[in-house]
Amino acid sequence: MKKILIPLLSYLLISIALASDDQKVGDRAILFKLKTQNGTEFDLASRKGQWTVLYFFPKAETPGCTKQACAFRDNIKKIRALKAEVFGISTNNILEQAEFAKNHNLNFTLLADDKTEVTKAYGVKMAVVNYSKRWTYIIDPDLIIREITKDVDPITDAERVAKKIADLQAGK
């Protein structure tokens, strides 16, 4: 019985810690690996030394998510001029992410979190369904969370992100 209980308790404690939405600005970003829409592996740890935008969205091809993705597509030059990169994360699978990227000519990477592990770890999973909330994280080159914006406006989020990164880099 002891052999079963100890691993089970360890698993439960890790799960509770990962499911916490207590992340705050100033915390180290939770590291993860996910597949991209192209099937390659993305590792957040490899972003050390660079600004990173993680934007979580509920579901590909829905109106709000399409508006948000297209706004990031249209503002990507401003964001990249600030030496930052954008990664969209949802609970869609790789094929759904690939189709979404293709349909809207997205020029940034989408990550597939179809097991909802990262979405849960970042506290972004909706309680009732396997979708994520619409939250955006800005992570600095030391992999420290510099901003968390919850329930963002899908139309203005990309412009807001570009301005916020510029402000953070200027020490504002």
- Selecting among 65, 86, 94, 148, the annotated active-site residue is 65
More confident residue, 102 or 125: 102
CA dist 43 and 24 (Å) reads: 21
Count of residues in the chain = 172
65 as an active site residue: the answer is: yes
Rounded Cα distance, 68 and 55, in Å: 9
Between the CA of residue 156 and those of 17, 75, 76, 113, what are the distances in Å?
A: 32, 10, 13, 24
Give the mean model confidence (pLDDT) for residues 140-159.
Answer: 96
Distance CA 106, CA 125 (A): 24
**Distance of alpha carbon 62 from the chain centroid:** 18
Contacts 24+ apart (CB under 8 A), 104-109: 104/66, 104/69, 104/70, 104/73, 105/73, 106/69, 106/70, 106/72, 106/73, 107/73, 107/76, 108/72, 108/73, 108/76, 109/36, 109/37, 109/42, 109/85
Q: Return the bridge partners of 132, or none.
A: 125
pLDDT digits (tens, 9 = 90+) for 116-139: 999 999 988 776 666 778 999 999
Whether residue 6 is predicted with pLDDT greater than 80 in this model: the reply is no
Between 128 and 67, the higher pLDDT residue: 67
Q: What is the pLDDT of residue 18?
A: 44
List pLDDT tens digits, range 21-61: 568 999 999 999 999 999 999 999 999 999 999 999 999 99
Query: Mean pLDDT of all residues in the chain?
Result: 88
Of the chain, the percentage scoring pLDDT greater than 90 comes to: 78
Domains of the chain, first to last: 2-169 (3.40.30.10)
Cα–Cα distance, 49 to 150 (Å, whole number): 25
Compute the distance between CA of residue 98 and CA of residue 36 in angstroms, rounded to an integer: 8
